[in-house]
Chain A
């Protein structure tokens, strides 16, 4: 089994952190951003996981779920719901925010882009009865969301002072060695200031207008 990652690609923080958390044995190979790892996709897709059968997984969340499953932790409705929310709501907003901060230097505007998903997460954290999002123990969901938010929330000037539950949870997850070392490997522990993040962002297509509002803004037909 082989995991392909690239320097500066924030999606790789997620899979590397979950890999360490689950302790699954797997080779890690660093490739450049243009490398077309998955043969049937026309655009480069990293991270990607090559399974012993020859199958490729190209979705970071599916890779994380696979590592979990191999480690004997099945998904639940709650886990599925958070991962779907991350992919459909948080990720588009975050991609847009990263584009604005890293490439356009628009720091002030990112707050409004992220406002919706961040306050949703903060409210959900306030209402929960467990220490982490889905359980008393840290789970894949916490690590996935932490990794997605890491570049933005590790920059104190972009954090809203009102979202205290979110900040406390972010710090609690971030002290895990799995999270720390993944952030170190991919973004040299520098978050938004990582030069590799800028290089990565420059090679990505610009997010579509309104993508921050998520899916369904401009249907195909």
Chain B
């Protein structure tokens, strides 16, 4: 799974030469073998490295604050979203939804690596959401739709249909 993500990320970043990856342990943690240095281990570490290799530092956030916000959501992806238990997924959706209430992307108005990896990691959950749930988590769904239509991001994942107009128009004056 994470190897597909890394390959999609390489394409999104426009890296011409695909890297060679392996995995380690039961959890299949990705490992990037390097010719001129020690191997890199871990999805966030490797993804961050690829962004630097592609000379796209803006994807890691511009200011100290944005960098920390990007790091935080990258960590959230690999600690909370990955391997989460069924009872936790509602909390994750609820929290992301309320966080994204006043934001276009996870780090505000700027698209970053955090959006890409969160999108890859949460896709399998969103695919299975009922229409009513997508409406319940409207800010999160809106964010998801922005990211899946962001140029060059989707790659290995099928598009998810997100309704632009609310089906149940209650409370309209």
Q: Point out residues on A near B: beta carbons under 8 Å.
A: 39-43, 51, 53, 55, 57-59, 61-63, 65-66, 69-70, 75, 77, 80-81, 83-85, 87-88, 91, 208, 213-221
Contacts and interface: CB of A to CB of B under 8 A. Distances in A.
Contacts of B54: none
B91 to A, nearest CB: 6
Interface string B70-108: 011001101100111110010100110011010000000
Contacts of A55: 65, 69
| Cβ-closest 10 pairs across A and B | A215-B83, A66-B68, A62-B72, A216-B83, A84-B42, A69-B64, A40-B98, A40-B99, A81-B45, A216-B27
Contacts of B78: 84, 87-88, 215
Query: How many residues of B sit at the interface, in one of the four size bands?
Result: 35 or more
A51 B72 CA distance: 14
14 contacts: A39-B98, A42-B91, A55-B65, A57-B69, A65-B68, A77-B45, A80-B42, A80-B49, A81-B41, A81-B45, A87-B75, A87-B79, A216-B28, A220-B84
Given A40-B95, A61-B75, A221-B124, 16 more contacts: A55-B65, A59-B75, A62-B68, A77-B40, A80-B49, A81-B40, A83-B75, A84-B75, A84-B78, A85-B41, A87-B78, A91-B79, A215-B27, A216-B26, A217-B83, A219-B83
A149 to B, nearest CB: 18
A55 B106 CA distance: 12
A54 to B, nearest CB: 10
Given A77-B48, A80-B44, A80-B48, A66 B65 contact: yes
Contacts of A216: 26-28, 82-83
A88 B64 CA distance: 23
Given A84-B78, A220-B124, A220-B125, A69 B67 contact: yes
Contacts of A84: 41-45, 75, 78
Given A66-B65, A85-B42, A59 B72 contact: yes
B114 to A, nearest CB: 11
B128 A88 contact: no
Nearest to B97: A40
The majority secondary structure among interface residues of chain B is helix
A25 B94 CA distance: 33
Interface string B113-141: 00000000000110010000000000000
Interface string B21-55: 00000111100000000001111110011000000
A65 B71 contact: yes
Contacts of B83: 214-219
Given A84-B45, A88-B42, A220 B86 contact: yes
A44 to B, nearest CB: 12
Contacts of B84: 219-220
A213 B49 contact: no
B46 to A, nearest CB: 9
A65 B49 contact: no
B65 A51 contact: yes
Given A51-B65, A88-B78, A213 B72 contact: no
